[in-house]
Structure 1
Amino acid sequence: MPVLYLSHGAPPLADDPVWPGELAAWSASLPRPTAILVVSAHWEEAPLAVGATRSVPLVYDFWGFPERYYRVRYEAPGAPGLAESVRGLLRTPGTPVQDVPDRGLDHGAYVPLVEMFPGADVPVLQVSMPSLDPRRLLEIGRRLASLRDEGVLIVGSGFFTHNLAALRHAGVPGWSAEFDDWGRRALAAGDVDALLDFERKAPAGRLAHPRTEHFAPLFVTLGASEGDPSSGRSVIDGFWRGLAKRSIQFG
């Protein structure tokens, strides 16, 4: 299976005239997954946690939106077998893996999946990010890579730029465009070292990501890709409300 890093959007993504169609076309081009494993920017918990393995209510981890966004349902089957595989791949002496059986999918997982797999008929498992350290996340991705041979679609869900506080005017701010262009070129060049050190090496790195949780899932994706990042291709690019929605497929 390929590995994906996607910019997940927010609940109003469903109303965008373009983006839902881009996500639907992307999923239609993929092999049918046996299950989907999601690492979302919106779940940080240590030690690494495995979410619900049965269908439980979604996590509406956003505030101030119209009521209809809190009525969205996505009752995908759980993936207990995948959860067991994840535990086996990630649990080592001194590195525990915990279970949080009532933790449903957050909006970083279900918002894009509603558009990509609207039938909610593919089992989905979400795991937490136990750290924002890029190198540690890269290693987690490497340990998960073998799941691809079992038909598992590994998805790192974030946002290629993410600083809501700095979005003061309509249009695309310079810091967002500059970081997006830098990231595109770093990936094309296969410059993993630059990506790992993006806070210092990218133009406007700290402005594009004042907190790094939305870029961090990219490193799980890079690890799981087991290859040169230059082999990735941007399936979706452009901007949404000033934020770069670049989304990348490896393999």
Structure 2
Amino acid sequence: MSMPTIFVSHGAPTLILEDVPARAFLASLGQQVPRPQAIVAVSAHWDTDVPAVSLARKPETIHDFYGFPEELYRLRYSAPGAPALAEKVAKLTGAAHDHRRGLDHGAWVPAMLGWPEADIPIFQLSVQPGQTPAHHIALGRKLAPLREEGVLVMGSGSAIHNLRALVRSGDSSEPEPWAQAFDDWLAETVEKGDEVALADYRTQAPYAREAHPTDEHFLPLHVAFGAAGEGAQGRTLHRSFTLGNLSMASYAFA
């Protein structure tokens, strides 16, 4: 059986410490998909001009955030890397090599929750915010053969990512209408497998500018969609909001 690909919304780094529905969902990732042989994490937090892959044998846990609780900085995810597989991904995609890059929180937060034993090899593939969503769908397509080898392509970003629109009061504010409208459009479009609409979301999605002032947190979804192969359709794994307008929607593609 071919491995599905997934896109997860990883939220704020503090998600791993919180009792919210999105954390409970991410803690179930290991039950949502077959056990992978390895994980290719495509995180919104590794941005490069051209695709790059990490070949570290023992990826360090990168705490790429500031001003958060000390408990977060003590967390370590000690899963091994997969240099040989990363080299294969580099050949499939033409990506550059990075022998030192570890795991940023877009990779280690969902991995730590989903596979806490840290016994599945994991490495990262970067996104290119200067390139289009169509570029990232095409990048994902080059990864499609990995599905037959039991490799999980995990895009990690945010279904909605507008930091200015967050509600930081700590209450359970309902999303504003614009956020709900974009989130509903995304779920419908993903489940249809509408590649044209996903690639052209800037003009086709309602409130696209409000949902994503910049592209980088949405592009991992396009890679995951592309990696599922031609004609892929999505399946909703989870939908919720946190911090008011931050969508935590996650999807599987096959």
TM bin (shorter chain) = over 0.9
Helix, strand or coil for the counterpart of 1:43?
A: coil
Give, in whole Å, the separation in 1 of the partners of 2:36 and 2:247: 27
Identity of matched residues, %: 44
Partner residue in 1 for 2:18: 16
* Segments ≥4 residues shifted beyond 4 Å: none
In the TM superposition, residue 167 of structure 1 has moved relative to its aligned partner by 2.2
Structure 1: how far apart are the matches of 2:224 and 2:151?
13
Secondary structure at the counterpart of residue 237 of structure 2: strand
Whether 1:206 aligns to 2:209 is: yes
1:92-128 CA-to-partner distances (Å, cap 9, x unmatched) read: xxxxx32221111001000111100001100001011
- The root-mean-square deviation of aligned C-alpha atoms, in Å, is 1.5
Q: Which runs of 5+ in 1 are unaligned?
A: 92-96
Shift of 1:42: 0.7
Aligned ranges 1:1-251 → 2 under 5 Å: 1-17=3-19, 18-91=21-94, 97-131=95-129, 132-168=131-167, 170-229=173-232, 231-242=233-244, 243-251=246-254
Kept in 1, the 8 Å contact 2:234–2:251? The answer is yes
1:146 aligned counterpart, secondary structure? helix
- Kept in 2: contact 1:9–1:111 (CA 8 A): no
What is the rounded CA distance, in whole Å, between the counterparts of 1:19 and 1:240 in structure 2?
Answer: 8
Q: CA deviation at 1:83?
A: 0.9
- Give, in angstroms, the shift of residue 162 of structure 1: 0.5
| Structure 1 residue 227: Cα displacement | 3.9
2:143 partner letter: L
Amino acid at match of 2:100: D
Distance 1:36 1:204 in 2: 32
- Tell me the amino acid that sits aligned with residue 143 of structure 1: K
CA contact (8 A) 2:58 2:80 kept: yes
Preserved CA contact (<8 Å) 1:167 1:173: no
| Conserved? CA contact 2:8–2:158, under 8 Å | yes
1:36 shift after superposition: 0.2
Give yes or no for contact 1:108–1:157 (8 Å, CA) kept in 2: yes
Q: State which drifts further: 234-243 or 146-155.
A: 234-243
Deviation, structure 1 residue 19: 2.6
Partner deviation per Cα, 1:143-170 (whole Å, 9 max, x = no partner): 1110111110001111000001122574
TM-score (norm 1): 0.92
> 2:79–2:121: 8 Å Cα contact kept in structure 1?
yes
- Residue type at the aligned position of 2:85: L
**In 2, Cα distance between the equivalents of 1:228 and 1:110?**
30
* Alpha-carbon distance in 2 for matches of 1:26, 1:124: 15
Shift of 1:181: 0.6
Q: Deviation string for 1:192-235 (max 9, x for gaps)?
A: 21111111221110010000111111111111111434x32111
Partners of 1:148 and 1:190 in 2: CA distance: 18
- Give, in whole Å, the separation in 2 of the partners of 1:204 and 1:45: 27
Would you say the 8 A contact 1:90–1:143 is kept in 2?
A: yes
